[in-house]
Structure 1
Amino acid sequence: MFSISNKHEEFFDYLIENAEKFRRGAVIANEVMKDLSLLPDHMEEITNLEHGADKVNFDVIKQLARVFITPIDREDFYNLSCRLEDCIDNLHGFIMRVDMYHITQSTPAAVRGTEVLIDMGNELASTFELLKNIDKHQAELIYHTEKLNKMETEVDHIYRAEMSRIFSGEMPLLDVIRWKDTMASIEETADKVEALGNLIKGVVMKYA
């Protein structure tokens, strides 16, 4: 069985660091959806998180160019890092959209959707920690990726139910436009996290 122990574990630390940034970004999104008066206070933090994630991703790419042997294929590290950074970009975009559309009142669907994104962030952090010893934690890793799939399914159900409500004809047109895009941003973020989980699953199967 293939072992990757003691081979540049800093690559995994980079992934864990950005997974924590994603989790924090999801917490910010949820706090804003619970209390929109917090939006101005959180905009700078989410922007700093996004910039920090960009830097971490750049550091991964720079380190990949320097290191001869990597714990897993360098292409896998590159894809994992870039996909994770995209997820953080989406959270930043969500907060910017809330500000741009001057949203002043939240919805239960937006609150619950962002709560699930927090759960997905927790799963990502746990998954990347286990990935350090992929040969010892294959079953656990697959379990975590399957949980991500289930969470994305929940967000998808939330999104479809909210779209049905939005287009029922009871909501003012301007609010329809606002919430159609805002809920789509939550759903797209969950989709990207699920895709990242599927990528992790592929890496696990490669080294099984």
Structure 2
Amino acid sequence: MAKAKDSFYFQNFLESIRVSKMAADKLQDIIKNYNHSVIEEDVAAIHEIEHMGDSKKHEMTREIVKAFITPIDRDDIVKISNCIDNVTDSIEDIIINLYTWNIKELRQDVVPFAELISSCCDAAEGLLGELHDYKKSKKIMDHIIELNRLEEKGDDLYIQDIRKLSIENADPYTVMAWREIYRSFETVCDCCEDLADAVESIIIANT
């Protein structure tokens, strides 16, 4: 069990991934109620959430700089913090892509992709909730396995969606735009798996 003075680090991880979850929830809302006329407002809203994530990351950096001893290796703390930040950033990138490619109507196969991203963030929250007690936790490896499974599902969705896009569309602009958008969805799943890999490497190195 982490010492009381170490709780800041693990709490910061949890608060940071909850920002990612907030971004994932906002993404789902935008996707399920897509309105091209308010996409600029959606970009601003998701950026505000991303800024909250940046603030949590800066809090962590300030704490590490002044800390004499940390509960896990400093490099590992920085790596996990960066992984979480990448999750939030990559969710924001999806909305930015919808804006920059001027997408007026969504392809409906992004709906399950957005739901998958929420599932990834839920699993990541569960994982980081166990990190403070990683040497004794009986659940932490289950969350790692689940994140790996979800990432594989993201790969499958990406392949299916790209194939369907290529079959149905002759317009090169549409194909280019949606390839980029699908890739941005898959990237979120990859970032969540990167987080799982970072935690797993800590477990292996310290047990």
Fold conserved between structures, TM > 0.5:
yes
Shift in Å, 1:6: 2.6
- The 5 A counterparts of 1:1-208 are 4-37=2-35, 39-137=39-137, 139-168=138-167, 170-208=169-207
**SS state at 2:4 partner:** coil
Task: Provide the rounded CA distance (Å) in 2 between the counterparts of 1:170 and 1:62.
Answer: 50
- Asked if the contact 1:5/1:133 (under 8 Å) is kept, the reply is no
In 2, Cα distance between equivalents of 1:53 and 1:89: 9
User: What residue identity is the alignment partner of 2:97?
Assistant: R
Distance in 2 separating the partners of 1:127 and 1:162: 29
Structure 1: distance between partners of 2:203 and 2:5 = 17
2: CA distance, partners of 1:169 / 1:135 = 50
Q: Distance in 1 between matches of 2:173 and 2:34?
A: 18
Q: CA deviation at 1:149?
A: 0.4
1:41 Cα offset (Å): 4.2
TM-score of the aligned structures, taking structure 2 as reference length? 0.93
| Unmatched segments (≥5 aa) in structure 1 | none
Aligned partners of 2:119, 2:163: CA distance in 1, in Å?
Answer: 25
5+ residue gaps, structure 2: none
Give the paired residue count: 205
User: In the aligned structure 2, how far is the partner of 1:39 from the partner of 1:26?
Assistant: 16
- Give the match's secondary structure for 2:167: coil
- Supply the distance in 1 between the matched residues of 2:148 and 2:108 (Cα, whole angstroms): 22
Please list the CA deviations of residues 154-191 of structure 1 after superposition, one character each: whole Å capped at 9, or x if unmatched.
11100001111111253532221211100000011111
CA drift at 1:59: 1.2
CA deviation vs aligned residue, 1:104-139 (integer Å, no higher than 9, x gap): 2222321111111101111111111111122221x3
Query: Letter of the aligned partner of 2:193 in structure 1?
Result: E
Is the CA contact (8 Å cut-off) linking 1:134 and 1:207 kept in structure 2? no
Please give the root-mean-square deviation of Cα atoms over the aligned residues, in Å. Answer: 1.5
**Displacement, 1:44?**
2.2
Runs of 4+ aligned structure 1 residues displaced above 4 Å come to none
Q: Which amino acid aligns with 2:179?
A: K
Deviation digits for residues 28-83 of structure 1 (CA, Å, limit 9, x no counterpart):
22222222116444322211111111121111111001111111111111100011
Q: TM-score, normalised by structure 1?
A: 0.92
